[in-house]
Amino acid sequence: KALSLLFKQPIQIVGAGRTDSGVHAKQMYAHFDCDFEIDSDYWVSKFNSFLGKNIVIYRFIPVNEDAHTRFDATSRTYEYYIHTFKDVFQNEGSWYYFNQLNVDLMNEACKILFEFEDFECFSKTNTDVNTFLCDITEANWKVKGNQLIFTVTANRFLRNMVRAIVGTLINVGIGKITLDDFRAIIESKNRGKAGFSVPAHGLYLVNVKYPYID
């Protein structure tokens, strides 16, 4: 709507993908077609003045007319934030989880993800995807004070996949399931055997990569 008002012509945008309601994005791309060149610096300032406080545009990037933000992406990276001590300033952007977690064991479980390509067990049921295959290239937990940060990178993600992976890794961290159980869950391809889906507000899309954007 803002672009259409600014450019005085109907503009439709296509985003790099969808996330669950409540999930944040530190980086997101969208593409649109228009019939004139855009001065990025001028229009960024102008455009942001039309947008609400929960979204900001950083730049316009000219690309080939057949470029597609969803299908051309080569990888996406998500982070999930947990704080282990009550912090009122993090309630909107991090999940408060106070139980003791074995982070070393959770990182061992992360390595098991690299053994597989089919992650149907972490996908929402009744989804319309043609394949559950994903190439995970990064998965790890880091401790930063009272905060735990899970980072995962793949060429694509299934609906609810990251939140389900985190919930299942939490079960490893509290000793509810073993590493062998974690592997068996993936092999089962059964969402009912995987862990709970952690709250959306701790999840962030942080990076989307394209072959033609630095």
Q: Which residues are marked as active site?
A: 20
Cα first-last separation, the chain = 28
Q: Which residues of 85-124 are buried (b: 16+ CB within 10 A; e: fewer)?
A: eeeeebeeebbbbeeebebebbbebbebbeeeeebbbbbe
Strands (E), 75-183: 75-83, 95-96, 136-144, 147-154
CA trace torsion 135, 20, 192, 166 (10° rounding): 60
Distance CA 80, CA 5 (A): 36
Residue carrying the six token digits 């060149």: 37
In sequence order, what DSSP letters do the residues of 164-187 get, joined into one string? HHHHHHHHHHTTSS-HHHHHHHHH
Nearest to 63 by CA among 55, 50, 72, 75: 72
The SS3 assignment for 64 reads: coil
